[in-house]
């Protein structure tokens, strides 16, 4: 179940004089009756699975629908040529977010974080940060606890499902998890960690889930980029000492409420938004033709 609120997580951390990520880890040890080694090993495996997924990207693969594939490699070429205005670090964050989203669409193995549709956000930032700053894997794994603990609170207070809360609940959650975790890895204070998470969540409030043909491809893959890039910026703001006015828990509650108010057509049903543009309708029609399920 995890913590009921980020405030509760802070209280547990203060009581034990431990960092937030460790409070999350200890809560998991209690809940599942496992040792520190067991949960640490399991989280490291998740991190290694993310790395493996990044390495296993195949440039020439196309998704079943034919809509996605190859763009991560295109982005990487731009970065390698030194032509990315966003620079080497951000360029690689964008590259990795695209790659992971495309691998997911192409039925490769990924780590849902917190969902498959938003699987590119956390690894894009984590792998790039580890690479550029030479951070030990152990520290990155600790950061994953912070990310997962944040996601747990969001799942409990609001939602992490596009069908329930729109894309803000998926990519929005992933971005908030990632911003809080990156700030934790960078040694930010608890207040800074929570501010980073709040910034990232606020930035994506209201984001709808309106994918073409109902597939986790367009616009999902690009939105992983948005979530990842924003997480880095939000962490930087927090590290600069900029703090959130609205506490993270309240932002999470607002997200949940917005999700409930959001029309059903914009919650993974592909009945509105991008899904029903001229192009969206054409994609849906093409897909229906290719659908091999008989008499459907």
Partner 1 sequence: MNLYDIMGPVMVGPSSSHTAGAVRIGLISRKLLGEQVQKAEILFHGSFLATGTGHGTDRAVIAGLLGMAQDDLRIPKSFELARKQGMEWTFGRAYLKDVHPNSVKLRLTGESGRNLEIVASSPGGGRVEICQMDGLSTTFSGDIPVLIVHNEDSPGHVAAAASLLADAGINIASMRLSRDQRNGSAVMVLECDQEIPEETVRMIENMKGIQKAASLAGMD
Does position 296 interact with partner 1 (CB under 8 A)? The reply is yes
Binding region for partner 1 (CB under 8 A) out of 126-134, 193-201, 234-242, 286-294? 286-294
Select 10 or 27, whichever has its Cβ closest to partner 1.
27
Select 86 or 271, whichever has its Cβ closest to partner 1.
271
Does position 238 interact with partner 1 (CB under 8 A)? The reply is no
Rounded to whole angstroms, how far apart are CA atoms 224 and 207? 12
Q: Using CB under 8 A, which of 65, 86, 139, 190 touches partner 1?
A: 65
Residues 104-133 that bind partner 1 (CB under 8 A): 104-117, 119
Binding region for partner 1 (CB under 8 A) out of 5-13, 199-207, 208-216, 254-262? 208-216
Give the residue among 187, 118, 112, 117 at the shortest CA–CA distance from 146: 187
Q: Phi and psi at residue 174, in whole multiples of 5°?
A: -60, -40
Rounded to whole angstroms, how far apart are CA atoms 216 and 151? 20
Does position 23 interact with partner 1 (CB under 8 A)? The reply is no
Select 48 or 77, whichever has its Cβ closest to partner 1.
48
Select 202 or 267, whichever has its Cβ closest to partner 1.
267
Rounded to whole angstroms, how far apart are CA atoms 261 and 255? 10
Residues 142-201 that bind partner 1 (CB under 8 A): 144-145, 147-149, 151-152, 155-156, 160-161, 163-164, 177
The Cα-based distances of 42 to 1, 2, 80, 111, 142 in angstroms read 17, 17, 34, 13, 12
Select 91 or 172, whichever has its Cβ closest to partner 1.
172
Rounded to whole angstroms, how far apart are CA atoms 152 and 55? 28
DSSP H helical ranges for 158-219: 162-165, 167, 173-185, 190-203
Min dist CB 81 to partner 1, Å, is 29
Does position 293 interact with partner 1 (CB under 8 A)? The reply is yes
CB atoms within 10 A of CB 78: 15
Min dist CB 221 to partner 1, Å, is 10
Q: Please, what's the b/e burial string for 221-252 (b: 16 or more CB within 10 A of its CB; e: otherwise)? A: bbbbbbbbbbbbebbbbbbeeeebeeebbebb
| 79 to 108: interface string for partner 1, x by CB under 8 A | ------------------------xxxxxx
Rounded to whole angstroms, how far apart are CA atoms 210 and 266? 5
Does position 217 interact with partner 1 (CB under 8 A)? The reply is yes
Q: Phi and psi at residue 236, in whole multiples of 5°?
A: -60, -45
Token couple for 272? 């509105």
Rounded to whole angstroms, how far apart are CA atoms 189 and 283? 47
Binding site for partner 1 (CB under 8 A): 1-2, 24, 28, 31-32, 39, 42-43, 45-46, 49, 63-65, 103-117, 119, 144-145, 147-149, 151-152, 155-156, 160-161, 163-164, 177, 213-217, 270, 287, 290-296
């Amino acid at each position: 179940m995890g913590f009921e609120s980020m405030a509760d997580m802070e209280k547990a951390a203060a009581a034990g004089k431990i960092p937030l990520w460790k409070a999350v880890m200890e809560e998991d040890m209690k809940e599942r009756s496992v040792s520190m080694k067991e949960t640490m090993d399991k989280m490291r495996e998740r991190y290694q699975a993310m790395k493996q997924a990044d390495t296993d990207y195949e440039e020439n693969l196309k998704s079943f629908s034919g809509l996605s594939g190859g763009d991560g490699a295109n982005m990487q070429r731009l970065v390698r040529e030194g032509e990315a205005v966003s620079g080497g670090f951000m360029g690689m964050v964008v590259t990795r977010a695209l790659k992971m989203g495309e691998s997911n669409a192409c039925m490769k193995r990924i780590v849902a974080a917190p969902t498959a549709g938003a699987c590119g956000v956390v690894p894009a930032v984590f792998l790039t940060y580890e690479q550029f700053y030479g951070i030990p894997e152990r520290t990155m794994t600790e950061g994953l606890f912070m990310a997962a603990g944040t996601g747990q609170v969001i799942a409990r207070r609001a939602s992490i499902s596009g069908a329930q809360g729109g894309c803000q609940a998926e990519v929005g959650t992933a971005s908030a998890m990632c911003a809080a975790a990156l700030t934790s890895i960078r040694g930010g204070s608890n207040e800074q960690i929570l501010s980073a998470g709040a910034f990232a969540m606020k930035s994506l409030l209201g984001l709808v889930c309106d994918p073409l043909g109902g597939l986790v491809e367009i616009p999902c893959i690009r939105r992983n980029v948005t979530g990842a890039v924003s997480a880095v910026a939000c962490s930087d703001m927090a590290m600069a000492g900029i703090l959130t006015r609205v506490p993270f828990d309240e932002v999470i509650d607002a997200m949940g409420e917005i999700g409930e108010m959001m029309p059903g057509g914009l919650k993974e049903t592909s009945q509105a938004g991008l899904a029903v543009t001229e192009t969206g309708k054409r994609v849906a029609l093409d897909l229906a033709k290719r659908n091999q399920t008989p008499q459907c």
